[in-house]
Structure 1
């Protein structure tokens, strides 16, 4: 374990913020948004809504929460607002959560990511 990742060196405020990030990511639509942004780079609300199978108004609300938590950022292109991931960290959390879910679903079998 790296010295900078020691739990006893992390402030309570940072732990609270990390828990908030995980709370925000603990939603299937938000995880799907992150995975779609990984595939496509930048997308508008309507395109994301279509890809995740939700209404644009709901996706917009999810994106607002994700933006507040600094998981996504925006860029204006004409009259469109495009969303993209701020960095790779939320994506890494999403991938690890999916790998953990594969273990839970595998029921004692070897999950796909270990094959």
Structure 2
């Protein structure tokens, strides 16, 4: 850290620091947020989520659409299910996946916007 990165005068606005401290997230919430971003740190999971924003899809449709093996798609869907980002329903011998909440795609779109 350079000397430009630290205060030259030791003056703390205690009231401001206390107010911000009250509004900080708990350690548990911070950990869960970090876990969510780790899940979103995989290109294939992002691709699956973006595909599901258009329609409910089965593993074989996702596999074809994303040019991935069905086992790879299933593996990624398992991670997304564990974080409650996708849900599924069974119809005969097919399992269809959909988003739990559209908010996740808004977050992805925000990331896309900020990446450019």
Normalised by the shorter chain, which TM-score bucket? 0.7 to 0.9
Calculate the TM-score normalised by the size of structure 2.
0.77
Alignment partner of 1:67 is 2:81? yes
Higher helix content, 1 or 2: 1
Larger radius of gyration: 2
Aligned residues: 96
Aligned residue in 2 for 1:78: 92
Structure 1 segments (4+ residues) deviating >6 Å: none
Q: List gaps (5 residues or longer) in structure 2.
A: 1-20
Aligned residue in 2 for 1:14: 29
Q: List gaps (5 residues or longer) in structure 1.
A: 1-5, 104-115
Per-residue CA distance 1:9-35 (angstroms, 9 max, x = gap): 421111111110111011111111111
Q: In structure 1, what is the Cα distance between the partners aligned to 2:26 and 2:61?
A: 39
Aligned-residue CA RMSD (Å):
1.6
Structure 1 position 8, deviation (Å) = 3.0
Calculate the TM-score normalised by the size of structure 1.
0.77
Classify 1:78/1:21 alpha carbon distance in 2 versus 1 (closer, same or farther; 3 Å): same
Structure 1 position 89, deviation (Å) = 2.2
Aligned residue in 2 for 1:28: 43
1:44 aligned to which of 58, 80, 88: 58
Structure 1 position 97, deviation (Å) = 1.4
